[in-house]
Amino acid sequence: MNHWHLLLGATAWLLALFACGHALLLKRDPRAAWGWIVVCVMLPFGGALLYFLFGINRVETRAHRLRPPRHTLGRGIGLDHERDARHRRSTAHERPAVPASFEQLARTADVLTHRPLLDGNLVDVLHDGEQAYPRMLQAIAEARQSVLMASYIFDVDKIGEQFIAALSEAQKRGLQVCVLVDGFAELSLRRGCASRRMRQVGIDAQRFHPPKLLPPSLHLNMRNHRKLLIVDGELAYTGGMNISLRHMAQDPQNPRPEHDLHFELRGPVVQQLAEVFGEDWRYAGGGDCPCPAQPAPEVEGGAICRVITDGPNEDLGQLTLILLSALASARHRVRIMTPYFLPPRELVAAMEAAVLRGVQIQILLPEKSDQGKMSRAMRHQLPHMILRGLRIYYQPPPFVHSKLLIVDDEYVLLGSANLDPRSLRLNFELVVEAYDRDFAVRMARHFKERRKRSKLLHAQELQRRPLPSRLYDAFWWLFSPYL
């Protein structure tokens, strides 16, 4: 028996030492490394097990293995040519002029994305499903060549059925129709399997990285959170809306109404959106899809735009770096609207530094979230930010799912990404940056209208809440990297 005790003890300490060494070599944050080392030493068996389950970042490694970098992905099917062509476009034509205070931001995105800024784009905002869905369905009905669509959630409800019918009619007209849904999100839905339903009516539908038992691929991360509709390579829709009845904020049949923003885009930037869809489609096993060989014509006086992607592959950290650069470029005001607000420390520090420079930062958050644990974790960190000078507001119900960043009424970031660890590290996200004063002023007007209905938060009020409530918030904040 003593021999068994010695063997188990030696095994436990070997595992603990191996876990400590792994954390020491691979953790980028010394606090995280110290934390895991202490856990592994104090609990040799249990600590090592916890580290192997939760401490190892398998997301980036698995993403690189499953989805090789773009310079090798799709070799032989034209993707290298697409990327080379994009580089040539970037260097062959002079970058459109942006306001002087944003020059460094533009250069940062040039280097990170390898995509050029493109002039001559029209960007129109659509509020809630009441405005967005009819325009999207009309675009599908009027399509002449192709329809490319990606949605994180595709509910088979009243709205989902309308889109499936429209896509099926486009398929019957001889158009190439490609629909991509996220595999994890679809597995978690209660209202049917949209991809199966679409395949039954002849639509080419693929699932992005679906969990499966054989071969084992059971994961909660690497979700495709992008929302795209691209018609004929000329017209595109992107933003925060999935395909679901919940975005019909005025529908009496909707038990969980949500406010959200979606955007209609025309012009050369549509080609960049189509290229991103094409990469995701090939990765999901769909093969080639119709991407425009030439960008759409520029529109006189349109916005200067560029697509920015982020995800747990070679794009990891791009959006965070661009957000840091945008905050550093701010001179007067930054307006942020997001449903989930758990920014990394470097973003919080950049916001605090901007406030110290005299920049006013206003943040609109939902008072009632659709994710209770996330709401608790968010609330725990708000008093410190408010004391540092950030002005944070709670928007009244119903839940507001909108994502928006406006800098100095000149620059807008729009798209699918939230300001939380899942969007900034674990999901595949897509945003569009737009330099256009008229559009930025229009979005600032929407922001101010929402802010007038919202409640300004005070640190003292949050700190005076009952101790059990504050402890519960802090408990969920500990799990914020995984929410």
CATH number at residue 198: 3.30.870.10
Q: Are residues 163 and 299 in the same domain?
A: yes
Residue 341 · residue 422 · CB < 8 Å: no
Tell me the one-letter amino acid at 19.
Answer: A
The string of pLDDT tens digits covering residues 367-412 is: 988 888 899 999 999 999 999 999 999 999 999 999 999 999 999 9
- Return the residue matching tokens 């949209």: 194
Of 257, 276, 305, which residue is a domain's last?
Answer: 305
Determine how many CB atoms are found less than 10 A away from the CB of residue 376. 21
CA nearest neighbour of 436 among 110, 180, 128, 98: 98
Q: b/e string for 291-314 if b means 16 or more Cβ within 10 A?
A: bbeebbeeeeebbbbbbbbbbbbb
Q: Are residues 42 and 120 in the same domain?
A: no
Q: Are residues 237 and 334 in the same domain?
A: no
Do you know the residue count of the chain? 483
C-alpha to C-alpha distance for 404 and 365, rounded to whole angstroms: 11
Task: Find out whether the peptide bond into 215 is cis, omega within 30 degrees of 0.
Answer: yes
Q: Are residues 21 and 137 in the same domain?
A: no
Residues paired with residue 207 on neighbouring β-strands, in sequence order: 181
On whether residue 310 sits in a domain, the answer given is no
pLDDT of residue 90: 46
pLDDT of residue 294: 80
Mean confidence (pLDDT) of the chain: 86
Determine the structural domain holding residue 326 and report its residue range. Answer: 318-482
Q: Are residues 331 and 271 in the same domain?
A: no
pLDDT of residue 11: 76
Q: Are residues 474 and 404 in the same domain?
A: yes
Q: Are residues 447 and 372 in the same domain?
A: yes
- Dihedral Cα 374, 378, 379, 383, nearest 10 deg: 170
The structural domain count of the chain equals: 3
C-alpha to C-alpha distance for 285 and 206, rounded to whole angstroms: 7
The string of pLDDT tens digits covering residues 12-36 is: 778 888 888 888 777 766 767 767 7
Q: Are residues 236 and 87 in the same domain?
A: yes
Q: Are residues 427 and 404 in the same domain?
A: yes
pLDDT tier, 159 (very low <50, low <70, confident <90, very high otherwise): very high
The string of pLDDT tens digits covering residues 425-461 is: 889 999 999 999 999 999 999 999 999 999 999 999 9
On whether residue 162 sits in a domain, the answer given is yes
CB under 8 Å to 76, separation ≥6 — which residues? none
- Return the residue matching tokens 């209660």: 190
The reported pTM is 0.86
CB under 8 Å to 135, separation ≥6 — which residues? 126, 237, 264
% of the chain beyond a pLDDT of 70? 86
Q: What are phi and psi of 267, to 5 degrees?
A: 120, -170
Q: Are residues 35 and 72 in the same domain?
A: no
pLDDT tier, 74 (very low <50, low <70, confident <90, very high otherwise): very low
On whether residue 13 sits in a domain, the answer given is yes
Q: Are residues 14 and 81 in the same domain?
A: no
Residue 416 · residue 152 · CB < 8 Å: yes
Of 283, 305, 327, which residue is a domain's last?
Answer: 305
On whether residue 219 sits in a domain, the answer given is yes
Of 279, 305, 331, which residue is a domain's last?
Answer: 305
Q: What are phi and psi of 429, to 5 degrees?
A: -120, 165
% of the chain beyond a pLDDT of 90? 61
Q: Are residues 200 and 93 in the same domain?
A: yes
The string of pLDDT tens digits covering residues 403-419 is: 999 999 999 999 999 99
- Return the residue matching tokens 């595992």: 15
Residue 192 has pLDDT above 80, yes or no: no
